[in-house]
Amino acid sequence: MSDEANAPTGARSLGVIRNPQDFYGGLALCALSLFAFWASDDLPGMRGFSFGPGTAPRIFAGVLLAFGVVITAMGFLTQGKPLERYAIRGPFWITVSIIVFANTVRPLGLVFATFVSFMISGLASPETRWVETTIAGVLMTALCVLLFVQLLALPFQLWPRF
Amino acid sequence: MHDLLGNLALGFHVAATPYNLLFCLIGALVGTLIGVLPGIGSVATIAMLLPITFGLPPVGALIMLAGIYYGAQYGGSTTSILVNIPGEATSVVTTLDGFQMAKQGRAGPALAIAAIGSFFAGCVATVLVAALGAPLTSAALLFGPAEYFSLMVLGLIFAVVLAKGSLIKALAMILAGLLMSMVGSDLETGVGRMTFDVPELSDGIGFVTVAMGVFGFAEIIRNLEGSAEDRSIVQAKVTGLMPTRKDLIDSAGAIGRGTIIGSILGILPGGGAVIASFAAYTFEKRFAKRPERFGNGAIEGVAAPESANNAAAQTAFIPLLTLGIPPNAVMALMVGAMTIHGIVPGPQVMTKQPELFWGMITSMWLGNLMLVVINLPLVGVWVSLLRVPYRLLYPAILVFCYIGIYSINNAPADVVIAAVFGVLGYLLVKHEFEPAPLILGFVLGPLMEENLRRAMLIARGDVTVFITRPISGTLIGIAVLLLVLAGLPMLRKRREEVFVE
């Protein structure tokens, strides 16, 4: 919300923002707090002196907003490190791997989900060697089946359901 | 005193059953393993293993998790000494003198002293936990909702003051954690809060899900950014394990002082093992007759921090078991573990489940003994394990996490939520926000809200109750004082000094 609205101006006046880590971090906190205010908008608040469901979330969100504003302000007042570059490859492939696991573990079973998400997560690192990773994936899948299904007797579907 | 012995006897009775001994051994071994491996912390591991403990009996599960925690303090020293990479944050200072000793061919004595120091500290801390448990528990009975709320505020402030980096950012992280813990059904009215009618959110965001995302996934993403070079191993020759008489005499005092410092800092909320090891090292260096020896292989520089971190790891259980308040992130996970088994941490644990309480305490002593016995011969194994390349290790950890999260509720959505928190955790680290206060806030959130609500109801809406009631007022006073002190520039400089790695 406010993050997006303020980001372009922030980028243009980079000379003013002396501590970008704090500046953008603070903005994100403000955004989170405003989002919480909006999300808890429908909850009833105080009735007399007893708390309603919405009271505590709004108290916490309010204090968080105050901190967010201060931290954003610190972005102007203090000298800090420049923003670090975000890695894209790692987070991206790990997220893909997670989503694939979440969507395959029910319909296709644990064996398939484990092996495939193992291989996909291998894409996250440039150092991966595929033959080695494939062998490790097979071993890991076997280990997981042994540990979770055989030893711990968790009720998992192993193979695809037809 | 008689009670104490009787209780310890009960504890041994519980802890020494073959099953519980086995759990203790597994915990200590796993703990050592993750302590040895850099990049996998005890927080992440305990988070990963929480779901597995679901099928175990509660006593066994907690004994195992506790074993992982103190085992990790212990294993961290092995990597620090042999490879100059701290396996755990608590072993950072051990690298300074430990690795120097290893370079001089004295890796054996360094490892042995770390083991002996840890064992001694573990023994003392076990007795301390047992001795302080009962009086603190009776003190807890004087606590009403207002006092509990104030105590939690104090605990959170402690965590903030002693945490690394910016005060205000740590405070903001706590608030963010508190806010996130509000998602889910309201305790009193059952209204869904901030759930957006998503059924998976109506039970709230699972603690394990958050912890695994913020610590586990984020840590892996972060590690993948780094290059592989920092995992190269200096092949230190481990010859002659036994320390000389002179080594023992030199380190005896350091072990004692480290144990005392560690025990005290462990009890304080927010203190914990990391601070303890730093403090013990600084203390030794400052009061040594020849401080220039430190950094060049002084055995006291290994003995003091290693004793301190082990002592702190154990005394950290005191506030958890007596007051039900987790003093650090690992203890917060222990709350999660207890809740999974339907145990409410707090003073009632000791009276209602004495076998759990005392069994766990005595298992710590047994666990420490096991650590000494298993670790010295296993040093070679740990060294060879360090050669497993990270490119194979991280997918395995990831997959293990996926299955772990999924197994809690058999809910694929939980795994996706953890992914969101993983990316969040990565962004936090990138912006130099500490994730640990967030987790602490997340765990304490529901407790704080409940006590705040009750206190306000009892006081008929009078906010001053937190200051006018004597115990509560004192706690709040200490919290404010701490914040002011930490805000003062002089002390802030000190803090930075302590954390320069």
Give CA separation, B74 vs B81, B90, B203, B359, in Å: 12, 9, 37, 21
pLDDT of the residue at A13: 44
Q: Give residue-wise pLDDT tens across range B34-85.
A: 777 665 667 777 877 777 777 788 888 888 888 888 888 778 788 778 766 6
d(CA B498, CA B501): 8
Which chain A residue's Cα is nearest to B175? A64
Answer whether A124's CB lies under 8 Å from B413's CB. Answer: no
Q: Give residue-wise pLDDT tens across range A7-49.
A: 444 444 456 777 888 888 889 899 999 988 888 888 887 777 7
Q: Which of B103, B8, B33 is nearest to B386 (CA)?
A: B33
Distance from CA of B416 to the nearest CA of A (A): 6
Q: With 90 as the cut, is the pLDDT of residue B381 above it?
A: no
Which residues 169-208 of chain B have a CB within 8 Å of chain A? 169, 171-172, 175-176, 178-179, 182, 186, 188-189, 191, 193-194, 196
Residue B185: strand pairing partners = B192
Distance from CA of A149 to the nearest CA of B (A): 11
Q: Which residues in chain A are closer than 8 Å to B191, comparing Cβ atoms?
A: 43-44, 53
Which residues 374-403 of chain B have a CB within 8 Å of chain A? 389-392, 394-396, 398-400, 402-403
CB contact under 8 Å between A24 and B432, yes or no, is no
B408-420 average pLDDT score = 85
In a domain, B427, yes or no: yes
pLDDT of the residue at B65: 87
Distance from CA of B338 to the nearest CA of A (A): 19
In a domain, B461, yes or no: yes
Tokens of residue B360, six digits? 């766990």
pLDDT of the residue at B339: 80
Distance from CA of A16 to the nearest CA of B (A): 18
Q: Kindly indicate the confidence band of residue A69, based on its pLDDT and cuts at 50, 70 and 90.
A: very high
A127-141, B226-240, B260-274, range with greatest mean pLDDT = A127-141
DSSP assigned state of B104: T
Give the count of beta carbons closer than 10 Å to the beta carbon of residue B233: 14
Chain A interface test: which of B156, B205, B402, B421 (most A C-beta within 10 Å): B402
Which chain B residue's Cα is nearest to A105? B412
Q: Does B269 touch chain A (CB under 8 A)?
A: no
Q: Kindly indicate the confidence band of residue A62, based on its pLDDT and cuts at 50, 70 and 90.
A: very high
Q: How far is CA A84 from the centre of its chain?
A: 18
With pLDDT > 90 as the criterion, what percentage of chain B qualifies?
1
Domain that residue B88 falls in: 2-230+245-499
pLDDT of the residue at B162: 61
Q: With 70 as the cut, is the pLDDT of residue B301 above it?
A: yes
Q: Which residues in chain B are closer than 8 Å to A101, comparing Cβ atoms?
A: 399, 402, 406, 412, 415
pLDDT of the residue at B85: 64
CB contact under 8 Å between B179 and A121, yes or no, is no
CB contact under 8 Å between B452 and A56, yes or no, is yes
Which residues 52-71 of chain A have a CB within 8 Å of chain B? 52-54, 56-57, 60-61, 63-64, 67-68, 70-71
DSSP assigned state of B299: T
Chain A interface test: which of B174, B220, B391, B453 (most A C-beta within 10 Å): B391
Residue identified by tokens 């597995």 is: B52
The CA-based dihedral angle spanning residues B454, B456, B459, B462, taken in that order and rounded to the nearest 10 degrees: 170
| Nearest-CB residue to A114 (from B221, B399, B453) | B399
d(CA B212, CA B48): 7
pLDDT of the residue at B320: 81
CB contact under 8 Å between B224 and A48, yes or no, is no
Chain A interface test: which of B224, B426, B463 (most A C-beta within 10 Å): B224
Answer whether A23's CB lies under 8 Å from A10's CB. Answer: yes
pLDDT of the residue at B496: 52
Answer whether B360's CB lies under 8 Å from B63's CB. Answer: yes
Residue B193: strand pairing partners = B184
d(CA B200, CA A102): 14
CB contact under 8 Å between B191 and A56, yes or no, is no
Q: With 60 as the cut, is the pLDDT of residue B329 above it?
A: yes
Which residues 1-20 of chain A have a CB within 8 Å of chain B? none
Number of H-type helices and E-type strands within chain A = 6, 0
Q: Give residue-wise pLDDT tens across range B353-379.
A: 888 888 888 888 888 888 888 777 777
Q: Kindly indicate the confidence band of residue B270, based on its pLDDT and cuts at 50, 70 and 90.
A: low
Long-range Cβ contact pairs of B91-94 (< 8 A, separation 24 or more)? B91/B35, B91/B277, B91/B305, B91/B306, B91/B309, B92/B274, B92/B277, B92/B278, B92/B501, B93/B277, B93/B278, B93/B281, B93/B301, B93/B305, B94/B277, B94/B301, B94/B302, B94/B305, B94/B306
Q: Which residues in chain B are closer than 8 Å to A87, comparing Cβ atoms?
A: 221, 224-225
Tokens of residue A65, six digits? 């907003």
In a domain, B264, yes or no: yes
pLDDT of the residue at B144: 81
| Nearest-CB residue to A90 (from B169, B178, B224) | B224
Vertex B145: Cα angle to B142 and B150 (nearest 5) = 90
Give the count of beta carbons closer than 10 Å to the beta carbon of residue B26: 17
pLDDT of the residue at B233: 44
Query: What does pTM read for this prediction?
Result: 0.72
Q: Which residues in chain A are closer than 8 Å to B166, comparing Cβ atoms?
A: 22
CB contact under 8 Å between A128 and B176, yes or no, is no
Q: How far is CA B455 from the centre of its chain?
A: 30
**How many domains are there within chain B?**
1
Q: Is the dihedral of CA B286, B288, B290, B295 positive or negative?
A: negative
d(CA A8, CA A16): 13
Vertex B163: Cα angle to B161 and B165 (nearest 5) = 100
Residue identified by tokens 């350091």 is: B254
pLDDT of the residue at B163: 61
CB contact under 8 Å between B402 and A101, yes or no, is yes
d(CA B220, CA B394): 7
**Summary mean pLDDT of chain B:** 78
pLDDT of the residue at B216: 75
pLDDT of the residue at B86: 64
pLDDT of the residue at A115: 92
Give CA separation, A122 vs A42, A85, A91, in Å: 44, 22, 12
Phi and psi dihedrals of A124, rounded to 5? -70, -20
CB contact under 8 Å between B398 and A152, yes or no, is no
pLDDT of the residue at A64: 92
In a domain, B33, yes or no: yes
Q: Kindly indicate the confidence band of residue B1, based on its pLDDT and cuts at 50, 70 and 90.
A: low
Q: Which of B328, B424, B380 is nearest to B89 (CA)?
A: B328
pLDDT of the residue at B271: 55
d(CA B436, CA B496): 18
pLDDT of the residue at B211: 76
CB contact under 8 Å between B413 and A133, yes or no, is no
Q: What is the DSSP string of B421-448?
A: HHHHHHHHHHTT--HHHHHHHHHHHHHH
d(CA B144, CA B121): 34
d(CA B152, CA B320): 12
In a domain, B235, yes or no: no
CB contact under 8 Å between B431 and A21, yes or no, is yes
Which residues 19-48 of chain A have a CB within 8 Å of chain B? 21-22, 24-25, 28-29, 32-33, 36, 39-40, 43-44, 48
Estimate the crossing angle of helix B218-225 against helix A89-104, to 10 degrees. Answer: 140
Q: Give residue-wise pLDDT tens across range B469-495.
A: 888 888 889 888 888 877 775 555 555
B286-300 average pLDDT score = 79
What secondary structure, in 3-state letters, does B162-221 show?
Answer: HCCCCHHHHHHHHHHHHHHHCCEECCCCCCEECCCCCHHHCCCCCHHHHHHHHHHHHHHH
Chain A interface test: which of B48, B54, B392, B415 (most A C-beta within 10 Å): B392
Q: With 80 as the cut, is the pLDDT of residue A142 above it?
A: yes
B250-257 average pLDDT score = 87
Pairing mode of beta strands B184-185, B192-193: antiparallel
d(CA B483, CA B266): 20
SS3 of B297, please?
Answer: coil
In a domain, B345, yes or no: yes
CB contact under 8 Å between B191 and A53, yes or no, is yes
d(CA B449, CA B184): 13
Q: Which of A23, A30, A25 is nearest to A2 (CA)?
A: A30
d(CA B318, CA B273): 14
Q: Give residue-wise pLDDT tens across range B120-165.
A: 998 888 888 888 877 777 776 777 888 888 878 887 787 677 666 6
Q: Which residues in chain A are closer than 8 Å to B394, comparing Cβ atoms?
A: 121, 124-125
Q: Which residues in chain B are closer than 8 Å to A127, comparing Cβ atoms?
A: 228, 389-391
Phi and psi dihedrals of A109, rounded to 5? 95, 165
CB contact under 8 Å between A102 and B431, yes or no, is no
Q: How far is CA B356 from the centre of its chain?
A: 20
Distance from CA of B449 to the nearest CA of A (A): 7
Which chain B residue's Cα is nearest to A61? B179
B197-206 average pLDDT score = 78
Query: How many inter-chain contacts (A to B, CB under 8 Å) are there?
Result: 190
